[in-house]
Amino acid sequence: MPALSEVIAALDALWPRERAEQWDAVGTVCGDVGNPEVLVDRVLFAVDPVQEIADEAVALGAQLLVTHHPLYLRGTTTVAADTFKGRVVHTLIRHGVALHVAHTNADTADPGVSDALAGALDLHVLRPLVPDASDPRGRRGLGRICEPPRPMRLSELAEWAAQRLPVTAQGIRAAGDPDRTIRTLAVCGGSGDGLFAEVRAAGVDAYLTADLRHHPASEAREHSPLALLDAAHFATEWPWCEQAAAQLDEVSDRHGWGLRTHVSRTVTDPWTAHAASHGAFAHGAAPGGPSESDRSAIDDITSGAPN
């Protein structure tokens, strides 16, 4: 079995810490890395370092938990066990489980988070959306420009994504003409509404990402006919866990470590339920006010409302 320090060195080679954004908090959060007697034979990969995942690592008998999201993204003054993050730290240390984070340094890697997202959707990756200027091969960077396996209508592409990404309460939302043919699209795992300018400059037909807010999405739709597909944050980043585990498997095989890697299938997306809209106004209702049936529905809703 390899020492924890050897496995951490391998993770740092795959996703160098210096390639993370300055605001990010990546690397080893807890674990006795300097102790050569601390060995690793099981590693669990997950998106979020929440208590449920910490408990899963303990139950699995893992000595190392690798997550995409940081536990402490901002500074803290306590790791007391009566705080939820402190409880995670206590659980991991008590059971000898180290925690390592690869976040924005995994986003821009080659392969990175968006490559894994594209792979889950059977897309053909053409190039990065925002290339890393320090990569002479032009393969690293944020997001990816892709082609679907065949031209698809927007509604078909939304269903395609819904069938291939982890099931979440949100599912896939789409903005644009459902019948528009999509031949090229950009994808970005995680929150991607800060990249609309780069997406428009790429000239793609659609953009699939997560956490699309009302105002940026509305403005993007006014700028151009770009179609939007909005998935849950967790769903767009979970495929990286499988990709990352496979990468560590390759390192383990090369060194003869015999590591056993596992990917958590626990859905840690915070949203747990979804109710389809049945309100008074349908999307795209004609200008000039509600229809007769809409007015009837509004009367039913407001008849008991206080003045």
Check: CB of residue 153 under 8 Å from CB of residue 223.
no
Q: Where in the chain is the domain with CATH 3.40.1390.30?
A: 4-106+238-263, 109-231
Superfamily of domain 109-231 in CATH is: NIF3 (NGG1p interacting factor 3)-like (3.40.1390.30)
- Give the pLDDT of residue 47: 98
pLDDT digits (tens, 9 = 90+) for 121-148: 999 999 999 999 999 999 999 999 999 9
**Nearest 5°: phi and psi at 292?**
-60, -40
Q: How confident is the model at residue 39 (pLDDT cuts 50, 70, 90)?
A: very high
Rounded to whole angstroms, how far apart are CA atoms 143 and 141? Answer: 7
Largest CA distance in the chain: 76
- Give the pLDDT of residue 284: 65
- Give the pLDDT of residue 85: 97
**Region 4-106+238-263: CATH code:** 3.40.1390.30
Mean pLDDT of 184-212: 98
Residues 6+ apart with CB under 8 A from 98: 4, 8, 28, 30, 31, 32, 33, 38, 40, 63, 64, 65, 92
Is 68 annotated for ligand binding? yes
3 state SS of 278 = coil
Check: CB of residue 227 under 8 Å from CB of residue 180.
yes
Is 237 annotated for ligand binding? yes
**Nearest 5°: phi and psi at 69?**
-85, 140
pLDDT digits (tens, 9 = 90+) for 247-287: 999 999 999 999 999 999 999 999 999 998 887 776 665 55
